Structure formats: C-alpha cells, structure tokens
Amino acid sequence: MSADRSGATGVGVIGAGIISSTYLEHLTAAADLEVHAVADLDVERAQAQAARHGVAAGVSVGDLLADERIEIVVNLTVPAAHVEIGMRALGAGKHVWGEKPLALDRAEARTLLERAEELGLRVASAPDTFLGAGLQTAQRLVEEGRIGIPISALALFRSAGPESWHPNPEFFYRRGGGPLFDMGPYYLTALVQLLGPVRRVTARSSTFPLRRVIGAGPRAGTEFAVEVPSAHSALVEFSSGASAQVVFSFESFRDQAPVLEIDGTTGAIALPDPNGFDGATRLWTDDPAQPIDIPAAGHVTGRGAGVVDLARSLRAGVPERASGRLAFHILDIMESIRESAELDRPIDLTSTTDRPATLPLDWDPTRPV
C-alpha cells in the first residue's frame, strides 16, 4: 500500500554515504514524511542516490538548506561534521535529526542544543533502534514487572573491526569513532531505556593494533593509523541503584554475537541485538531451565523511525522520544567512559534524562496519523 503524504512533513537528507540507503528506503515509505532532496559534498553522488530512491532532487548542501519545503534535515554526515551541519540547518530554520554520536564532545553538543532552544527548534538523534518492536517489547516486560526490580545488566559488543567490509573505514578510528562511539550508543541507549539515567562510570581501554588495513573495496590493502582506543570495558552505575558491565571492542579476532542481558529480583531477560529493530526477548522466571521466547510486538520498522516520531511529535506539540536530551546523556556516558580510562578514576556524570515512553502497539510509520 502506498503511503498517503497529504500534509506530510518535508525532509531533506544531507550525506549520501552507505548509511543513507537504509534511511532513504524507510523515509520514502513513511506516510507522514516527504523527502524533497538529498545533498552531499559530491553532488553527483547525491543525484545518484536521489534517483535510486525516487527522490526528486540531488543537490548541494546549500541548496537543500535553502529549500523552504524542508522542515527536518536528516544529518548523515561523518561524526566530525555533525555539529557543523546541524548548526547550519538550525540557522536555516530547520529541525535536525542527526546520526550518532550527537557531537564529538559535551561542549559541542551543548552549543548545538542551546542554539536549537534559542531558535525554538528541535534536535533529535540516532540511534532509533530502541523504537523497534524488539526493544519496545523488552521495555514493556520490564515495566510490567516481569523480572521484578532490575538490579544488574551485561552488554557485550566484540568485533574484529569494520575495516574488513567498509571501503573507507578510517573515520571509525578517529575522534568520534572507535567501538565506544560507533556501537556504544545502541547498547547504552537500550540500557537507559530500561534502567534509567547513569550516575557514575569506571572504565579501562586499550588500543591494538596501532595500524589497520582496509580489507574491501578499491582501496583494499591500504594501511592507516588508529587514533582512538579500539576497546573499552566499564562498570556503569545507574541512578536507580542498578549497575551494568559493558564491553565495546574492535580487538576481537572473531566477530561474536551481541549480548544484552538484564537480571532482576524475580527474573532475567536476554534482549535482541540493540543495533536492530526486531528480534525476540528471552525471559527467565521461576524455572531457569525453561526460558520463554517472547516475539517482538509492534511495528518492525528501520532507520528513520525516529524521524517519523520527531515529525509526529512536532505536529502534536509533544516531546520526541529520541530527544537531544537523551542523546546528550548517552554522549556524556561515552565521554565519561573515555575520561575514566584516561584518568584512571571513576567519573560522576552531571547530565540526566528521562526514560523514553513506549510507543503504542499500533504505531506504524507507513500509516498516516
């Protein structure tokens, strides 16, 4: 069924790289959005991506920002450009949806959020995987008390690194990258979604090897330097009294299945991959030998779900779920993990956030509201 876009919110996408394909697939199918243009520093690449997804125009960044039909700019640039492009979009009177991380550091993020507040505009941010049916189902189970009071959690991401498949992986190993800033947002957002805000972290990190080799694409065999830690482990303490052990690593000699588990006073759950939108939640209660697989309930969407929620929230005059405040808290957690490892001491966080509300079970981005 084709989406009804009468009264749709105008959207423009800046950044025509690999991640833009999955965004455009879902944004162009959303009933409440109308994608008017794709922009990139390489206008020809923007034009090709626009044509591939049925978008009318591939243009320069300046032309996209000048388009008065566009209300929300979807910023898919590399991390180092997130704040620069976000500030330009705000200056053009647009709301901003940004890819993660929100910024490279707290000061940049505050500048972006304060500017949005001054202008009466909104900044929201990936990840939006927590809006998928998989993690939404897990959130409902916790809120229903199915595991009692959550007391501890375990989050593990271990991989050999993205250079084996990404044709231009250097940015993963520069400031704003590494496994902490690349994969951490998915796991940490899911933990905050389920356990609430974080108050303190204690961490260790390592960097190995110091140089990596591109394994795919036309630049295969090219060697490059690693500029940030490639593995982090941390004890994360929540304001609720719960705690989590987390590991984010590009130093594993083999890719390993993601782990995200929560133990409570009367049960435990194993969550689906927080870098996805679907997947069953496994629940243990009275009989540890007989876990229950609970299928995901709700709409299985994809990247761009948060843009739909932002557009609908703007129309309704209510807060969006993947808010700038939530994204700032996740950035604060990651910066605190990095600082704790560097300074060899615990770091107390100064930010906080609210746990995002669950979506209605009948929430569907392909049907207009």
For 277-281, the CB contacts below 8 A with 24+ separation are 277/129, 277/131, 277/132, 277/133, 277/134, 277/301, 277/302, 277/305, 278/132, 278/133, 278/134, 279/134, 280/134, 281/134, 281/137, 281/138, 281/141
Q: Which fold has domain 1-125?
A: Rossmann fold (3.40.50)
- Model confidence at 2: pLDDT above 50: no
Per-residue pLDDT reduced to its tens digit, 322-342 = 999 999 999 999 999 999 999
The CATH class that applies to domain 130-294 reads alpha beta
Phi, psi (deg, nearest 5) at residue 64:
-65, -45
Per-residue pLDDT reduced to its tens digit, 244-281 = 999 999 999 988 999 999 999 999 999 999 999 999 99
Phi, psi (deg, nearest 5) at residue 258:
-65, 150
- In the chain, which residues fall in CATH 3.40.50.720? 1-125
Kindly report which listed range (41-50, 143-152, 252-261, 332-341) carries the lowest average pLDDT score. Answer: 252-261
- CA proximity to 12, closest of 311, 339, 261, 337: 311
- In the chain, which residues fall in CATH 3.30.360.10? 130-294
The whole-model pTM stands at 0.95
Under the banding of pLDDT at 50, 70 and 90, the label for residue 286 is: confident
Helix, strand or coil, per DSSP, at residue 213: strand
For 216, the token pair is: 């795919």
Per-residue pLDDT reduced to its tens digit, 171-208 = 999 999 999 999 999 999 999 999 999 999 999 999 99
Under the banding of pLDDT at 50, 70 and 90, the label for residue 7 is: confident
Report whether 160 contacts 215 (CB < 8 A): no
Question: What percent of the chain is helix, strand and coil (3-state, nearest 5)?
Answer: 35, 25, 45
- Model confidence at 5: pLDDT above 80: no
Give one word for 324, left, alpha or beta, with left for phi > 0 and alpha for psi -120 to 50: alpha
